[in-house]
Structures are given as structure tokens and as C-alpha cells.
């Protein structure tokens, strides 16, 4: 098979690689599309390697067709599926534990399906399992509202009845997230989020930015608030008044998806299939595909994310049929 690997200088290289060998509990997939994630950019920069046992090149989520599967698996050869991976999705074939492979939502294309597993697993893990969910009257706060995770988190929070505060960096992104239901949308380049956070104390925050602003907003959480850190793109240092933590019973939760066990990931994916996939079929949840590139143009696709141009997901196609239902 061919794959877009990272060479010794961390440059993309389209190479012939050995076909993956399926283990007894794994599914072999012919990849039609693979989505791009921030973790892929970090891996290409040499600071986020794949977990042990996974290919050491980019690609955390794919959609394609099952070629081989265990006899007792929920999917069978010929099924159209999407899968959550630990790495290696930028290739023509992949293997994954059977529990991390699920049917694509009815009515979605391969391109759309490829954009779902990583983002929606991240959102479900953190807003449902880590934060314990939300209810009407709660307030949800997340920066980078137009990112793939941001769009998913806004929709998930609105499904639970919460108000949403988010930040963006363009009028186009502001309009898009408002149409998804975001209640308070601020351009972080020209507007100060802190007065809004103080006036509408968050119940739950999902933070991929961190930095100085995190500590300044954290103190305004409601009593019993949950602040979940999943990345620190804005800096890894801040100042927190620890007295506020215990007086307000605040919880600061560190979370990541990639290093979790296959069993944990399988449980998340099963929950997505049962609880969220019907909402995609009914178009009560949507995925926005910002741009599509051939896999051989992975560098250009990464550039869209590096420049923060995207509203939603960027997807790489491996087969011409990726847009087919």
C-alpha cells in the first residue's frame, strides 16, 4: 500500500509501505477519506508521537470499507465504516481494534464520516463522561468555536440545553457559530471575553487554549464548575488562586483522548453510534467540511489549520469515491 509518512526530516513523503497485518481482534479497512486534526500538526512538528503499536505517521480518523473483520465483530466485509485510530490514517489501508470501528451514520458521505470519530469522541468524552453532562440553565464556555471540536462542542452543549459562550476571529466564523446556536460570540482580537464570563459564569469549560486568560476566567466559574483542559495552544502557564478552587468546589480536569486504552475508546464510540449517530441522520447534528484535498496534498491541508482558516473540518481523500454515500 501507499501512505503519506513522515521521513527522517519530518517532511511528508508518499511512499510504498508494507500492508498492515490484521490481528485477530482487528478490522482491516480500505481508506477512502481521512480527516486532519491539530494532533496531526503536532506530530508532523515532532512533538506528538503515535502511541506504541500504531504507525508513526499522521491520521487519527478515517472512513472507508471493511476488507476483513473478526467473525464476531459488529461490522463485516463490505460495510462502510469510520474508525478512531492512534495514528497511521494517512494511508490506503489501516487496521483498528474492532470496537473502534463503527458504521457511518446513514445518509452521510465518506468525507463527512471521516470528520466524526476524533472530534465527537473528544466532545463526548469530555462534556459527558468527564464533566457529567449539562442541563438547561447551565453555561458552556469554549474558545476556538469554529474549530472542528468547537463546532461539535457547541452543538452538543445546545442539545443538552446549555447556553454557549465562544470566541472566533472573523465575521464569517461568528455568523456560522451563531447559526449553530452559540449565544455569546466574541472576536478575541477586538473584544474582551472576561466581562462576559463574569456576567455569565460557566458551568463547564472545554479549554484547548490555556495561557494567561485561562486563570483569569477560571475564577468566575459557578460553584461546582468543571474546567477541562485538552490542549494549551495559547501557552502552558497561568496563575490560579487556589483558595477559589476549594471555596467554590471547582474541578480542573486534564484530559486527552489519544493515549486512552482501546477499551475506553471503544466504549466512547459505541456511545456515539447509539446516542449521536441518529441525530446526524436526522440532521439535528451536522459536520461542516471546510475543505477537501487529495492525500498527496497533505501539506496544503495542514496549512489551512496552521493559518486557522477553517470553519470545521479539513479532509483528505484517498479514493475518488470518498464523496459517495
CATH of the domain at 207: 3.40.50.720
Q: 126-158 b/e with 16+ CB inside 10 Å = b?
A: bbbebbeebeeebbbbbbbbbbbbbbbbbbbbb
Q: What does the DSSP 8-state code read for residue 275?
A: I
Together in a domain, 139 and 155? yes
Residue ranges in 143-273 assigned as alpha helix (H): 148-159, 171-179, 194-199, 211-218, 242-247, 262-271
Together in a domain, 183 and 62? no
Together in a domain, 67 and 180? no
The per-residue pLDDT for range 192-230, each reduced to its tens digit, is: 999 999 999 999 999 999 999 999 999 999 999 999 999
Together in a domain, 35 and 158? no
The per-residue pLDDT for range 174-185, each reduced to its tens digit, is: 999 999 999 999
Together in a domain, 15 and 134? no
Together in a domain, 102 and 156? no
Together in a domain, 10 and 99? yes
Can you give the pLDDT at residue 72?
96
CATH of the domain at 310: 3.90.180.10
For residue 290, the SS3 value is: strand
Indicate the average pLDDT of the chain. 96
d(CA 109, CA 15): 27
Full residue range of the structural domain in which residue 302 is found: 2-116+261-323
Could you tell me if 225 and 207 are in contact, meaning their C-beta atoms sit under 8 angstroms apart? no
Of 237, 254, 271, the domain-final residue: 254
The per-residue pLDDT for range 262-321, each reduced to its tens digit, is: 999 999 999 999 999 999 999 999 999 999 999 999 999 999 999 999 999 999 999 765
What's the residue count for the chain? 325
Together in a domain, 88 and 110? yes
The per-residue pLDDT for range 231-247, each reduced to its tens digit, is: 999 999 999 999 999 99
Together in a domain, 86 and 187? no
Of 254, 284, 299, the domain-final residue: 254
Q: What is the share, in percent, of the chain residues with pLDDT greater than 90? A: 97
The per-residue pLDDT for range 31-54, each reduced to its tens digit, is: 999 999 999 999 999 999 999 999
Together in a domain, 51 and 75? yes
Q: How many CA atoms lie within 13 A of 76 on its CB side?
A: 2
User: End-to-end CA distance of the chain, in Å?
Assistant: 24
d(CA 213, CA 197): 11
Instruction: Compute CA 3 distance to the chain's CA centroid, rounded to the nearest angstrom.
Output: 22
Band of pLDDT at residue 325, cut at 50, 70 and 90: very low
Give 61-72 as a DSSP string. Answer: EEEEEEEE--TT
Give how many domains the chain has, as a whole number. 2
Together in a domain, 155 and 109? no
Can you give the pLDDT at residue 201?
98
Strand pairing category for 139-142 and 163-168:
parallel
Of 254, 282, 305, the domain-final residue: 254
Can you give the pLDDT at residue 319?
76
Give the three cell numbers for residue 242. Answer: 487556589
Together in a domain, 132 and 225? yes
Can you give the pLDDT at residue 163?
98
Band of pLDDT at residue 324, cut at 50, 70 and 90: low
Q: Residue 322 above 90 pLDDT?
A: no
pTM score above 0.85? yes
The per-residue pLDDT for range 75-91, each reduced to its tens digit, is: 999 999 999 999 999 99
Amino acid at each position: 500500500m501507499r501512505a503519506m509518512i513522515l521521513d527522517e526530516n519530518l517532511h511528508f513523503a508518499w511512499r510504498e509501505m508494507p500492508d498492515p497485518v490484521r490481528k485477530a481482534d482487528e478490522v482491516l479497512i480500505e481508506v477512502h477519506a481521512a480527516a486532519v486534526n491539530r494532533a496531526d500538526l503536532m506530530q508532523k512538528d515532532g512533538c506528538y508521537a503515535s502511541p506504541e503499536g500504531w504507525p508513526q505517521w499522521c491520521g487519527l480518523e478515517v472512513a472507508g470499507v471493511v476488507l476483513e473483520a473478526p467473525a464476531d465483530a459488529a461490522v463485516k466485509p463490505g460495510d462502510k465504516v469510520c474508525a478512531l485510530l492512534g495514528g497511521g490514517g494517512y494511508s490506503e489501508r489501516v487496521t483498528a481494534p474492532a470496537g473502534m470501528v463503527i458504521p457511518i451514520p446513514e445518509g452521510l458521505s465518506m468525507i463527512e464520516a471521516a470528520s466524526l470519530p476524533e472530534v465527537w469522541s473528544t466532545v463526548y468524552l469530555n462534556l459527558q463522561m468527564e464533566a457529567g453532562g449539562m442541563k438547561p440553565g447551565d453555561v458552556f464556555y469554549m474558545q476556538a468555536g469554529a474549530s472542528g471540536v468547537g463546532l461539535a462542542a457547541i452543538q452538543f452543549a445546545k442539545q443538552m440545553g446549555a447556553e454557549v459562550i465562544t470566541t472566533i476571529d472573523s465575521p464569517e466564523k461568528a455568523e456560522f457559530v451563531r447559526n449553530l446556536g452559540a449565544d455569546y460570540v466574541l472576536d478575541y482580537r477586538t473584544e474582551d471575553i472576561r466581562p462576559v464570563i463574569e456576567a455569565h459564569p460557566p458551568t463547564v469549560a472545554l479549554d484547548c487554549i490555556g495561557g494567561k486568560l485561562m486563570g483569569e476566567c477560571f475564577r468566575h466559574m459557578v460553584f461546582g464548575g468543571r474546567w477541562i483542559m485538552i490542549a494549551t495552544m495559547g501557552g502552558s502557564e497561568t496563575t490560579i488562586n487556589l483558595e477559589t478552587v476549594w471555596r467554590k468546589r471547582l474541578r480542573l480536569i486534564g484530559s486527552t483522548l489519544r493515549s486512552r486504552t482501546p477499551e475506553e475508546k471503544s466504549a466512547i464510540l459505541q456511545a456515539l453510534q447509539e446516542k449521536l449517530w441518529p441525530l446526524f441522520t436526522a440532521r439535528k447534528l451536522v459536520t461542516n467540511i471546510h475543505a477537501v484535498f487529495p492525500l498527496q496534498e497533505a501539506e496544503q491541508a495542514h496549512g489551512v489549520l496552521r493559518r486557522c482558516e477553517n470553519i470545521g473540518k479539513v479532509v483528505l481523500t484517498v479514493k475518488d469515491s470518498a464523496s459517495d454515500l
